[in-house]
Amino acid sequence: MLDMTLKEFTAASASKAPVPGGGGVSALCGALAASLAEMVTNLTTGKKRYAQYEEEIQTIMKQAEELRLDLLECINKDAEAFAPLAKAYGMDKNEEGYAERLENCLHAAAMPPFAILEYCTKVVELDERLAVIGSKLAVSDAGTSVMLAHGAMYGAFLNVRVNTRLMKDTAFAEDLEGKAAALLEEYAARALRCYEAVRERL
């Protein structure tokens, strides 16, 4: 899926095909958010005006690159996890082993969007610093980055929820959904504050 052109990817997402869906698109948005954070570091590094932050900028640059690659990989992971679930939905509910197979598929399908959510919180953390120490010429890109991450987190949460709500293992479902909800509540608010900080700096 990562070898698709943008035109192919968006066409596939627009089609009846099960993937890429909300999870994969959220992962792509997260990867784009990380790429913009990385761009801000590239436009800041080596500048005399920001020399005092050079070491931190280099660290953020590396972290943003890693997050970009991790989130891109989540596009494939989300698609791979959904494929068995789609097949399970098509099974006869009276077939032996149906309930167990469906439960296992739901567990597996919930994990990539949870990872996407977690990765996006890390992007928000990077943007919080870049809003302060990034080049003023590129700080608007930090603001764009954090709002892409903001949207991706909401999309990822919904894709966790769409799986946990059907699980018979309510303890696991409530634990995972609770963790996701807590992350979303904290980091959605932080993303909005970061956006406002960028606006004030412009």
Note whether residue 74 is domain-resident. yes
pLDDT at 96: 81
In a domain, 141, yes or no: yes
Whether 110 is covered by a domain: the verdict is yes
Query: How much is the pTM?
Result: 0.95
Question: pLDDT tens for residues 109-162?
Answer: 999 999 999 999 999 999 999 999 999 999 999 999 999 999 999 999 999 999
What is the number of structural domains in the chain?
Answer: 1
**Placement of tokens 């919930």 in the chain:** 110
Residue 54 lies in a domain: yes
Question: What tens digit of pLDDT does each residue of 64-80 get?
Answer: 999 999 999 999 999 99
Question: What does the pLDDT read at residue 94?
Answer: 77
52-62 tens-digit pLDDT: 999 999 999 99
* Residue 49: predicted pLDDT: 96
Structure letter (DSSP) for residue 136: T
Mean pLDDT of the chain: 95
Nearest residue to 129 (alpha-carbon basis) of 22, 36, 37 = 37
Percent residues over pLDDT 90 in the chain: 88
Q: Is residue 151 part of a domain?
A: yes
3-state helix, strand, coil in the chain (%, to 5): 85, 0, 15
Q: What is the CATH number of the domain that holds 178?
A: 1.20.120.680
d(CA 39, CA 137): 11
What range does the domain containing 156 cover?
Answer: 22-201
Task: Kindly state the tokens that stand for 177.
Answer: 């959904």
Query: What pLDDT, in 10s, does the model give residues 175-195?
Result: 999 999 999 999 999 999 999
In a domain, 16, yes or no: no
pLDDT for the residue numbered 35: 98
Condensed to tens digits (0 to 9), the pLDDT of residues 20-42 reads: 999 999 999 999 999 999 999 99
**Does residue 10 form part of some domain?**
no
- Assigned domain for 66 exists: yes
